[in-house]
Structure formats: C-alpha cells, structure tokens
Structure 1
Amino acid sequence: MTIVTASNSPPEGVFVPVPTFFKSSPVPPALQAPLDVETQIQHSTHLAKNGIRGLVLLGSTGEAIHLSRAERYELLSGVRKGLTEAGFPDYPIMAGILVNSVDETLEWLADAKKAGAQWGLVLAPGYFGAAANQENLLEWYTLVADLSPIPILVYNYPGVTNNIMVSPETYTKLAAHPNIVGCKMSHGNVSHHVQVSLDPAIDHSKFRVYSGFGQQLGPIVMFGAAGVIDGLAAIYPRTVARLFELAVKRPVTEEALKEMQTLQFAVSRAEEMIVKWGIVGIKEGIYQVLKMGNLEGGRLPLKGRMPDGEWENWSVAMGAMEKFEQV
C-alpha cells in the first residue's frame, strides 16, 4: 500500500509513537541489551495493517536519547526496509529529533533522511527552558527549518523540556515557514490545540496539528486538528483509528456521535494506564495483548516492568478496549 499526501505534509489520522524494542540481555562486552529490530518491524507492520496512518520512531517513547547514533540509524533503516518488504514502501515515518544544539539537530535530521524517514519531529530545546523565550524559540526553529533536509514538525512536550510552552502566536509564525509542516502538542492545554487548529492565518492543508494524547482525540479533531500521536494505539490500533474516523467524518449523525462517545470514554479510561506507567506500561501492554517484545522494559533508568498484578488492575479498562479491537 502506498500513501500519497497532497503536499510534503504528513497525512491526517492516528500516528503511533512506538517504543524501541530491545533484546532481553546484553551481549558482552556491551553494557546494555541490543536493539530487537525484528520485533520492531513486526510491531510496525501490525500497526500499518490495522488502521494506523504512520509511525513516530525514536521519539520520547522510542528512547532516542538512550541510543547511539549507529543504533538510531539501524532502527530507522531497518523498519523502513521491513515495511517495504511487507508491502508498505512509502509508509509515513516521522523521526524524533531530541537534542538542543542546532548543529546536532541537523545531524540527526540528515541521518533520518538517509535512513528513510519523511519528516523530523523536532523537540523544543529545553535544557535551559526556564530561560527560553518565544523569540528565541522562533529563531531556533527557523534556523533548523532553513537547513533541514526533510520537513519538520514542532514537538512541544513540556514534561521533558523544563516546561517550555510554544505559544499559539509562535505557531502561527512558524507555520508560515515552507519547511515546517505541523506540530505535536504533548500537553493538556486543549485551548492551544483548538487555537492553532482553527487559526485562519494558518494554511491547515500544509500545517497539521497533532495531540500527544488520545484522551483529546474526539474533541480536538472535531475542531480542526489533524489527529493524534498516541501511545495507547501501539496496543489497540484499530480502536483508536476507528475513533478518529468517526471524529473526522462529516456530517456527524446521531448514531456516529453515540459510537464516538462510547469509544472516547473507553480510550480515555484506558489512557490512564499510559499516563501512570508511560513507556514501561506501553511495552507491557504490547507484550500482554499482542505477544510481542518482552517484559524487560526500556534502557536504564527505565529498565523493568510494572509490578506483579498491576496489569490485572486495569482489566476493566483494557477488557473494554480488547472487545472494541475485535469488532
């Protein structure tokens, strides 16, 4: 299957910030377990076959900060090759770019292009987040976009950037840049999502707004957002994708609205596990539901699994998702 977009912008829909899979134990003299590219491809192909419009590889969930440059390239190029062999040669891939230096950001972007990613999801530079201002963020992103070999999206995740918030006014200015094609807002300020999604000064066919939370999918998509980049969809792709289909369809019938409300409740409730357990919870869910990966978690300091019995504590929420997934 080939997905063609109307421009160099990513498609609307549900993207998944996929976790990076590792083997169970290191191979001496290595200190940490190596990548499990085979499982990475298996999981990515499963998502592509079940309604997910694209992947974010090496984002925050993908632990790019815990990987070497060689490992990042190995993972990106391996998944691109695996998807092509599975019949998805142009499947959308965003590569996470999680560094503060302009020069290193451009290095990551060049590697991402070479490995087969179409876009870079560029995290706001937050090491000195408390001292950053909107003018400096605008200049930083403009400089990166001017020189990036692939189109970029602005990635605003205050939880890992010392609480940087990109303002709606800054998005309006950045959206005018020909090489900035969207944003991901990983925060709970729904007003920012709606303002940027509906801003008449922005060309929304070119600049796409995504939330990092499936809890917000229905409300923000009904008010102009392009979709979500959602961790729960790594476990239950069909259900989250179905929710998007209902939210984007016009006109909204009473029957469709009722189904959307039912699905949004189930998704929002299940997302509480993702909020609490993050990467460890996503990996546990993939193992429990899809039988992929292992229970070793991520790399230090994220190594490990949920406590015994914790997955079962979420049986009501996950059981509902499982039923929807089978419809």
Structure 2
Amino acid sequence: MPQDSTVPPEGVFVPVPTFFKTSPASPSALQAALDVPAQCQHSIHLAKNGVRGLVLLGSTGEAIHLSRAERFELISGVRDGLTKAGFPDYPIMAGVLTNSVDEALEWLGDAKKADAQWGLVLAPGYFGNAANQENLLEWYTLVADLSPLPILIYNYPGVTNNIMIGLDTYTKLAAHPNIVGCKMSHGNVSHHVQVSLDPTINHTKFRVYSGFGQQLGPIVLFGAAGVIDGLAAIYPRAVSRLFELAAKRPVTPEALQTMQTWQFIVSRAEEMIGKWGIVGIKEGVYRELSIGNLQGGRLPLKGSMPEGEWAKWAVALDAMKKLELSVD
C-alpha cells in the first residue's frame, strides 16, 4: 500500500509508559521527577526491536499527571535521544487528552515544537453521551482544521464515560485532509473491521489501529493498519513478528497456523496487561528489560504489583519471552 508521508506507518506502535525517578526533583515538589534517560533507553530499545513508532503521553503515558512543561520535556527529550541513537525521523505520536478545543490545540502546538509527527486526540467524553455524534464531528473537525499536526481520532470508552465514535462519524472524519487515522481501544472488533474495510474511505490516507494486541491478527487480516499495544513495551519483537505474519500476503495455510499459535500466546499474555495496566507494563519493563523501577506511576497509580502476583502469570509470560527470544 502506498505510504503518504503525513500518514503513520503500518505496524506496531507502543503506548509508552512515562518513567519517573524514585524521588522528587526538588524539596518542594510533591511527586517523583521525570526520568528522561530511562525514557530514552526504553524508546531506543523499542526502535531497535521491530516497533514502528511510539505513542508518548497517551493514556498509558499518564499525560494527565504531567505539567505542560513536563510534557514538552519528555517528547523533546525522547526525540533528542532517538536522534543521537541513529533514529532521527522515528515516528512519534503525542497524546492529547483534554476536552477543550483550545487546550487540545495548545497540546498539539507544543507537540509539534517538541518534534512529534502526529497528535493522538482523545474523544472529549467528560459528559459522556451528552456529547452527541454531531457535536463530536464538529469538535474533531475544528481541532483538525487548526491543528499544526495531522491528528488521529482516539476512541477509548474506558476513560471517556463510555463514549463511542459512531461509524458514520468515522467515515466523515476520515475525509478530512488533516485526520490520518484512528485508535480504537475497545473490544468491538466489528467497528475495527467496518472502518478498515469501508469502501468510501481512502485507506492510504486513513489508518485504523487497535489499542489491544488481542485483536492484532483478526483486524490486520481485514485491513487494519496495526496496533498501539502495551504488551509490546515489554516484548516488542514478538508482537511485531505477529503483525508481520498477519500482514503478509498471500496467507498460506502454514502461515495461518503459525499466526494462530502466536496470537494465542500474545492474547493470553495480554490478560496481564488488561488486569494491571500501567503498573503491570512498568513492572514488566523493569523485570524483563531492567529499565525503570517498581515505583509505578504517579498518584493514584503509584506502586507495584502485589508480592507474588508476577509469578502467577509465569506460564503466559514465559511463553512470550520464548517468542521474543526466537525472533532474530
């Protein structure tokens, strides 16, 4: 499929957790400071191991727990680290998690100055279904009209009072020249498939990503561009190889069987991510990659998994580790 330079590449993106040090930056600070060196170390590891791009400061990145200055510091710091490591144009989406049009544009302006290429803009769901489809269409259109970056629609009902972007709304927004894709972080596979296969959408200019690696094989087989997946923060090569298996054409019986085997292992491990979220991802990155610490996120997400909890997932995670080590 031809690649438009303004459109994110197909493949696996990682919603990167934000790393924090174990102590505040100053005596007056209330929470632990950003750990930009750890952030860069992890981002470079992902870039070297099959991941096609990063989502910085999305939901997993705790953007709502950071100040404006911290958000800029993190994006610009990672960009600088990637450039010094030999990845100067590595794809970065910046999360935009605010309900105000003016603030969304402020976040997008800052992201552009920090050298992100796209904004991943969360649906404004504070008021839930009171935000009807007509108003969502107008909200996204206004943001896209004025955004200095191309944007993607981010539909995550779990953090937006169960608001869902309608299929007709996707079709209309996909025609906007500054809207280049969407991320659906929900279990409605039919929506992923319908938007991915909609014949009225130009799929060279509008890409569909899932937020769940559990859906990777099925949705990529039916036209989706890939996933933005938390498990890949820990096992990037394995999840990226599953994408390659699903994207390769033609799909031979042997390839399908291999894909099914890998998808089962990935889906089983994703259960840990589903239960423990940011805390589980950070624990996995620390245990498997020796990056970060076991402090977790900022309040109210501070802390680690309970003692013995990681061991309960040994069967699933050991299988993932075996896949990870099997990829050249």
TM class by shorter-chain length?
Answer: over 0.9
Q: CA deviation at 1:5?
A: 4.3
Q: TM-score if structure 1 supplies the norm length? A: 0.98
Q: Give the alignment partner of residue 16 of structure 1, picking from 14, 17, 25.
A: 14
Q: Residues 131-152 of structure 1, C-alpha deviation per residue, up to 9 Å, x if partnerless?
A: 1110000000000000000000
Q: Residues 173-202 of structure 1, C-alpha deviation per residue, up to 9 Å, x if partnerless?
A: 000000000000000000000000000000
Partners of 2:63 and 2:95 within 8 A in 1: yes
Q: CA deviation at 1:7?
A: 3.0
User: Aligned equivalents of 1:65 and 1:6: distance in 2?
Assistant: 31
Partner of 1:175: 174
Q: Residues 50-101 of structure 1, C-alpha deviation per residue, up to 9 Å, x if partnerless?
A: 0000000000000000000000000000000000000000000000000000
How large is the Cα RMSD of the aligned pairs?
Answer: 0.8
Partners of 2:157 and 2:186 within 8 A in 1: yes
SS of corresponding position for 1:326: helix
SS of corresponding position for 2:323: helix
User: Aligned equivalents of 1:77 and 1:7: distance in 2?
Assistant: 21
Q: CA deviation at 1:220?
A: 0.2
Q: State the AA in 2 paired with 1:11.
A: P
User: Aligned equivalents of 1:5 and 1:25: distance in 2?
Assistant: 44
Identity fraction in percent: 81
For structure 1, which runs of at least 5 residues remain unmatched after alignment?
Answer: none
SS of corresponding position for 2:12: strand
Partner of 1:201: 200
SS of corresponding position for 1:52: coil
- 1:77-156 matches, cutoff 5 A: 77-156=76-155
Moved over 2 A (4+): 4-7
Partners of 1:7 and 1:206 within 8 A in 2: no
The aligned length equals: 324
SS of corresponding position for 1:34: strand
Partner of 2:245: 246
User: Aligned equivalents of 1:324 and 1:179: distance in 2?
Assistant: 38
Q: TM-score if structure 2 supplies the norm length? A: 0.98
SS of corresponding position for 2:20: coil
Partner of 2:23: 25
Partners of 1:231 and 1:274 within 8 A in 2: yes
Matched, 1:56 2:55: yes
Q: CA deviation at 1:253?
A: 1.4
Q: CA deviation at 1:257?
A: 1.1
Partner of 1:161: 160
For structure 2, which runs of at least 5 residues remain unmatched after alignment?
Answer: none
User: Aligned equivalents of 1:145 and 1:18: distance in 2?
Assistant: 24
Q: Residues 215-247 of structure 1, C-alpha deviation per residue, up to 9 Å, x if partnerless?
A: 000000000000000000000000000000000
User: Aligned equivalents of 1:256 and 1:28: distance in 2?
Assistant: 57
User: Aligned equivalents of 2:321 and 2:159: distance in 1?
Assistant: 31
